[in-house]
Structures are given as C-alpha cells and as structure tokens.
Amino acid sequence: MDTSHLWESLPLPTNRLETFKKDIAEGKVPELPFNIIGQLNLKQTVKERIQQIDSARMITNLIIAEYGNGKTNLLKYLELFYKTYPELGVSVQYSRADVERTDLVLFLLKIVQDKYLSDLIDAIKVFQGSPDLVPPLVNNFESNFREIQEYTLKLFLPQNTDEQITELLYLGTGRLYNKRFFDKFELEQLKDFNRREILVLYLNLLSSQSKYIIFAIDEIEKIREKSKIRFSHFLTSYRELVDLFNQINGHYLLISFTDSIGSSEISTANDALYTRIKNDIVNIEPLKSIEDIIELIEYLNGLFGTQKDSKEIYSSFIKKGATNNRIAIQEISKLLYEQDIDESFETQLENAKLTDLYKQTEIKLENDEAFKNLHRKFFDPFEYYIDSIGLDSSNLNKQEKTFVDFITEKVHYFIFKSYLEDFENERLRISNLLAEYPSFNIVVYAPEKLELTHSKLDLTEGNRLEIIDIDPRVLFILFVVFKENYDYQPAISDIISSYTKRKL
C-alpha cells in the first residue's frame, strides 16, 4: 500500500480557521488533526502497518498514552488523510468505544453494515458467477466456518436480487434476527458466536475489491470505567478477533487506551490477549526534545499567522513546562497570542486563606454523598448564589440545566458528564439554545475532561457561543462554601468569578 504522503502536514480548511482561533482565544486546545509532531517511533510503526493493509493478514496496534498526549489527534489525522487521498482505496472509520456494546466483533460488524452495505452487494455480485472462488473467503468452510456454510452459499446464489442480498446481509450482521426471517430463506438461525466468521467473510469480500478499512476505536478506558466485567468482555472479544486475523485478508484495527499504568493493565485484565498483542503495543510520549517543541511552535505560528520568533516563544515556554502535549499546545498558543494567564484556582484559594475551608467542605460533602447525582444537587446552592449577587433566579431551569440572564443577555448551560454516549444530542441541544435565543450569548460550562471545543461543535452561530472548562464538582463546592459562610462571600465570589472566566 502506498504511504508516500503519510505524515505530511494536511491543509487547514479555511472556513474553520476562525473557529480554531476562537478556541485558542478562550484558552482551549482546538482539534488539530492536520499534523503529527515528533512521535517518530509511533509514526514509523503505523506507517509500516498501513503498508501491509492489503496483505493476507489483518493487523492491529494498541496505542497507549496518558491523557492529553494526542491519541485522538492521531486517529483523526488518519481519517482526514484518507479523505484527502481517496484514490488510495483506504477508509478510516473512527468511533469512540461504546460502553453499552462491548463485543468488538459485533461493534465492527455494525460499522461494516452501516458504511459498506452497497460495497458488499457489489462484491457479492462479482462472485455470483464464480462459486469456486467463494470457499477461500471463509477458510474453505473448515473449523467453525462450517457453521456458516449454508448461509454463505445462500448469499452467493446467482438468482438473488439486491433486496434479497440486503436481507441476507442483515441476517449476517444481526440487524434481522427473528427466526421467521431465516425461515424465509430456509436457513438455520445464526448465533452471535457465528458473527466472528461472518465478519471474516465480509472483510474478505471488501478486500477482494481492493477496499480496505482502518478501524480506529478510541477511548476504550471508558468501558473499564463503566464496569470491569464489560472491559473483560471487550478484551476477550478482541482476543477472539486477533485469533482470526490469519483468515482475514488485510484491514487494520487501531485501538487507543488512556491509562497511566499502560500495558500492565491489559496484561492483568486479559493475559491471553496481552501475549498475542504485546509486540503491537505502541506508546505516545509527551513532546520533550527542543527540536519537537520548536517544530510545534513553528507549526502553530504558521497555522495562525502570528509571526512570532520561535526561539523567543520556546524560551518563555520552557519556563512554564507542560505535563502533556495538549497543555503544550495550550501554553504555546497563549504565548503566541500574548494572553494574560490567571493565577491558578489553588493559588487563589491559598491567597484568600480559604484552602482549609474548601477542603473541609469537600470532605463534608463527600461524607454526605452529596456528589452522587451532582446534576440534580448542583442547582440549589447555585440558585442561592445568583440570588445573592443580584440576578433573577426565576429564570433558572434546573431540569434543563439552564439559567437565562436577561440583564446581560446570556444563557448559562451546564454539562456534567465527562463522557457523552451521544455527542450529537449535546451538539443539537446547544444549537437549539442558539436558535431559541438569537440575540443572546450562550455560555456552556463543560467538564475539562470532555474537551469540548468550538471545532468539535462546528456550529454556524458559534460566534455567540462561549465554552468554559470547569470541574462541576469544584464549582459545586465553591457554591456550597459561598452559601454556608457569609463572612467569606466576597472572597469566594471573586474566586467563582475567576474560575468561570468572569461569566458568573
């Protein structure tokens, strides 16, 4: 597979430049999947694997890095790269891990069904006149593949119409699963266990027509956070798929995992998988070398047209340091735009001599289990706060998590989840607020770990949108401290104002 242009800097869409500048102006890190700085070992590994994507075996890599070092950026770069070069015959299907669907095989089958149905139909028609070519697609019906022999032969019958092929494909993916659908084709009902061999068949059909997929599955740590049992199930299905790689012609599975423990976490949870993929594990490291930092500065400098001296920016940056690549981009961007940096939240607490009171309140709330269902409990002390500073709390809608301030013409909207199962729903909610209040600014308070940006939302009315990164738990504690300590209210009010970028 041709990879001659891989890792070249990709063009920034001109219509998104202002969106990215707005992110940076608010101290956020925009999505920048247009260039991968440094990471020579990672890039070399991924490049070598992609060169093998049209070989006789499926391949995989597990990418591990701590939060903020650019796993998602890498996956998004690959997605954008192959959209830029469609003639290469590779497509990238980026997905975040689904905590409700932890069988990796079924997850990939759903992607194939949703994105490649017409390609599968076209491929099946090519084989309809050559029945002898079908068995090699399914390991000559040996071992567990014999259980799908009847189904496979039915799928390639020359008399099948497009509608019948579609229904048969849906029987394979599980979209149609009722016995009566199988009876219609005089087939024995398939089981979920058979879907592994079905996936092999479908992927081999696509590769037979020189269509190759990079499955980019992001944030599998979310499954582990939801349930150790679910995470174990995911890893088991991953291992089962790896065991079928030698039956699949080509394709590439890239999985990313955020964890400070790294490979040992996989080994502990599923050693059978770890022994199979230990040589396929790649780490993303924070940028540390002078050359990489200078390259990042020059890239951002050129991208946003700031025309600053790279060495001077480097000298200022190195005094601050950065624990991960995301913070490095953030700090460099601030220096390029000469932004004033507020004192940290912890410093402000310390200067006001409120650190102990804050910590005592936090412990009390923890003991009272006040952080459970925070999205409900948050608004009582918040209501007290907005009344106390002279705003009208009658326009607070606790169920919708909004506060409309008609004096300053702002709508304050709060997000509490740091992981959104359906990001599009949240995007639609914010879009609706922009439409409902056409002359107001919309201020969205989003958890820091959600990494919500203007570039992610990509809304046409984004110029009226402000995004404030917070920790909902911290803001809740501050409101409670304010409510319960009258003498300290002026100082706490100043800290709340600073913490919310002077929006509250």
Q: Is position 9 within any domain?
A: no
Q: Note the pTM of the prediction, 2 decimals.
A: 0.71
Q: What percent of the chain has pLDDT over 70?
A: 95
Residue that terminates a domain, selected from 185, 208, 231: 208
Is residue 5 one of the residues assigned to a domain? no
Q: How confident is the model at residue 286 (pLDDT cuts 50, 70, 90)?
A: confident
Asked if 442 and 360 sit in the same domain, the reply is: yes
Q: CA-to-CA distance for 363 and 374, rounded, in angstroms?
A: 15
Strand order in the sheet with 410-414: 396-397, 402-405, 410-414, 441-447, 465-470
Q: What is the pLDDT of residues 179-227, one digit of tens each?
A: 999 999 999 999 988 999 999 999 999 999 999 999 999 988 889 888 8
- Residue of 215, 194, 178 lying closest to 75 (CA atoms): 215
219 assigned to some structural domain: yes
pLDDT at residue 52, as a whole number: 93
208, 236, 270: which is the final residue of a domain?
A: 208
| 358 CB neighbour count, 10 Å cutoff | 21
Q: Which residue has the tokens 């800290």?
A: 495
Average pLDDT over residues 110-125: 95
Mean pLDDT (whole number) for 299-321: 78
Q: What is the pLDDT of residue 461?
A: 75
Between the alpha carbon of residue 210 and those of residues 122, 216, 257, 433, 459, the distances in Å are 12, 19, 30, 45, 36
CATH number of the CATH domain containing 215: 3.40.50.300
Do residues 349 and 225 both lie within one domain?
A: no
Q: What is the pLDDT of residues 22-37, one digit of tens each?
A: 776 666 676 778 888 8
Count Cβ atoms below 10 Å from residue 180 Cβ, excluding itself.
8
Structural domain for 92, as ranges: 14-101+210-283
Domain match, 353 and 400 both: yes
Asked if residue 492 and residue 349 are part of one domain, the reply reads: yes
- Indicate the angle between helix axes 472-484 and 355-367, nearest 10 degrees: 100
Number of domains present in the structure of the chain: 4
Weakest mean pLDDT among 60-69, 179-188, 320-329, 484-493: 320-329
> Between 261 and 165, whose confidence is greater?
165
462 shares a domain with 320:
no
Instruction: Indicate if 134 and 225 belong to the same structural domain.
Output: no
